[in-house]
Structure 1
Amino acid sequence: MPIWQAILLGFLEGLTEFLPVSSTGHLLLAGHFLGFESPAKTFEVQIQLGAILAVVVVYFGRLWQMLLALPSDPWVRRFVISLFVAFLPAAVFGALLHGFIKDVLFENPVLVCAMLIAGGFVLLAVDRWLAPTPRFADAMDIPPARALAIGFFQCLALMPGVSRSGATIVGGLLMGAERRAAAEFSFLLALPTMSGAFAYDLYVNWNKIEQTDVLPLGVGFVMAFLTAVVVVKLALAFIARHGFTPFAWWRIVVGSIGLAALTIYG
């Protein structure tokens, strides 16, 4: 794999992982048109670790304070429970459907484009019209029962092109979270969800990673980390000001261009 491709795909991963536009969809389409094919799509999954570490770095102070307060603060304990129950549905269904997702769904760029477009219209509708009056201004206020519902929304993202962050943000909005709170809950939920996906995929596909893959993986990892740090720092302020409509149109435009390119070039 040329290093420039690793840089490009790492940049795409970091840019899109925490935005509701589907990082996996962007990576699969880019790989398709570049003619890049990693064994069992390991590259696309493994460079997500860089994006995971970006959240750890940006939120380190808050995460450390939560860890220290966990034994004594019931508010923090409830939030940790909320994250755990939100993580469980995707963990269970992701493990059960791992082979089907990687071998069938990941190999269908038309499906990816369709999900990008459909998800764009859903995000547009929820952001503008369907979301109820917000009840939770802070991600840590979301109770476990509503967090579980958000977790089931996250399962929709097992289909490439849907977007993990997009599904959880839509779920958060429908469960009464304010825009910023829904996005921040999605960021923090990414830690157990993406770490679990990374670890499970590494366990299943360890024997498919060759020595020649190490350098591109490392380059993609670093690029994803650096880009995601910038995105996570800037995203909440942008969302608070502009909402999710720009990302909805981003999805629709990328999906439409992808379908046109697939029709013309195959």
Structure 2
Amino acid sequence: MDLITLLKALILGMVEGLTEFAPVSSTGHMIIVDDMWLQSEQFLTKYVANTFKVVIQLGSILAVVIVFWNRFFELLGLRRRDASQVRAGGGLKLTHVIVGLLPAGVFGVLFEDYIDEHLFSTATVLIGLALGAFLMIAADRFAPKVPKIRSVDEITHKQALAVGFIQCLSLWPGFSRSGSTISGGVLLGMSHRAAADFTFIMAVPIMAGASLISLVKNWEYFTLDALPFFIVGFISAFVFALLSIRFFLKLIDRIKLVPFAIYRLVLAAVTYFIFF
């Protein structure tokens, strides 16, 4: 395997890491990059390419676990909550995460085949990028000026369920899981940071579960020829996701969602002119 191919793995991992948890749609970016670049590699069959995407997604998931390790320890009962969390509203519990995941999990199972067959294309991604951008602009425009919920520990089960239903929009490629859930949380009265924290924590179990199932199904494609490609992509996605998450969480309450919405609209316009 030559250095150019490994450089492609590094760049694809970077695209995944930088976009997976920012509200810009990593799926949309990967579909666009796939159409432009990934399929040009002769050694990558459709199945090896899909396995590679799962591997780099696992790199991004690991980054979230590192950033929120204390939260996951608390959710699993391996670390005690401090007094401030209890006073805030009892603290975020595992049941909040489960309730938030249920709607998208149910709809994802019901419509998985239809989504895979009809919605994974550049054209549908452009629609998702634009509609998701308008939702994010609306969230910043119509959200309460003073958030009722400043911390993820104040989220109720009812609010978690409502965010879960809004997350169903992300089943459309290009809409963005984090874009839809952060927008939904903000519209429900959460601060941007509280909505982002809940979004990232909620993403780990569903993404990890789906990724591990895909890995088991595609284990035969972990050949010696493809392994360096996978390893470089995984490390790249992990490093860039770690940097992206920390940077995003520091800024989200200040810059909010509109700058990301503008980026999405520009990306959609540029992609349209390239492909159509």
Normalised by the size of structure 2, how large is the TM-score? 0.86
The Cα shift of 1:255 comes to: 1.0
Q: 2:42 maps to what in 1?
A: none
Question: Matched residues in 1 for 2:232 and 2:256: separation?
Answer: 32
Q: 5+ residue gaps in structure 1?
A: none
Question: Matched residues in 1 for 2:107 and 2:185: separation?
Answer: 20
The Cα shift of 1:136 comes to: 0.7
Q: 2:158 maps to what in 1?
A: 145
Alignment pair present for 1:4 and 2:15: no
Q: 1:167 maps to what in 2?
A: 180
Q: 1:105 maps to what in 2?
A: 119
Matches within 5 A, 1:193-232: 193-207=206-220, 210-232=223-245
SS at structure 1 position matched to 2:94: helix
**Count of aligned pairs between the two proteins:** 259
Question: Matched residues in 1 for 2:104 and 2:51: separation?
Answer: 19
- Tell me the alpha carbon deviations over residues 12-45 of structure 1, each in whole angstroms, 9 at most, x when there is no partner: 1110111100011011101111152742733223
8 Å Cα contact 1:21-1:166 kept in structure 2: yes
> What is the identity, as a one-letter code, of the residue corresponding to 1:75?
G
8 Å Cα contact 2:55-2:233 kept in structure 1: no
The Cα shift of 1:215 comes to: 2.3
Q: 2:199 maps to what in 1?
A: 186
8 Å Cα contact 2:130-2:264 kept in structure 1: yes
8 Å Cα contact 1:156-1:162 kept in structure 2: yes
Q: 5+ residue gaps in structure 2?
A: 40-44
Q: 1:132 maps to what in 2?
A: 144
The Cα shift of 1:207 comes to: 4.7
Question: Matched residues in 2 for 1:45 and 1:101: separation?
Answer: 17
Match of 2:23 among 20, 24, 29: 20
8 Å Cα contact 1:20-1:247 kept in structure 2: yes
* Identity, % of aligned positions: 39
Deviates more, 1:214-223 or 1:241-250: 214-223
Question: Matched residues in 1 for 2:217 and 2:118: separation?
Answer: 16
Q: 1:238 maps to what in 2?
A: 251
Q: 2:80 maps to what in 1?
A: 69
Matches within 5 A, 1:252-263: 252-263=265-276
Match of 2:108 among 78, 94, 107: 94
| 177 and 141 in structure 1: CA distance in 2 versus 1, 3 angstrom threshold | same
> What is the identity, as a one-letter code, of the residue corresponding to 1:171?
G
Question: Matched residues in 2 for 1:247 and 1:38: separation?
Answer: 31
Normalised by the size of structure 1, how large is the TM-score? 0.89
The Cα shift of 1:50 comes to: 0.7
> What is the identity, as a one-letter code, of the residue corresponding to 2:56?
I
Match of 2:61 among 52, 63, 69: 52
The Cα shift of 1:210 comes to: 4.7
The Cα shift of 1:261 comes to: 0.4
Question: Matched residues in 1 for 2:157 and 2:213: separation?
Answer: 25
The Cα shift of 1:119 comes to: 1.2
Deviates more, 1:44-53 or 1:93-102: 93-102
- Greater C-alpha Rg: 2
RMSD between superposed Cα atoms in Å: 2.3
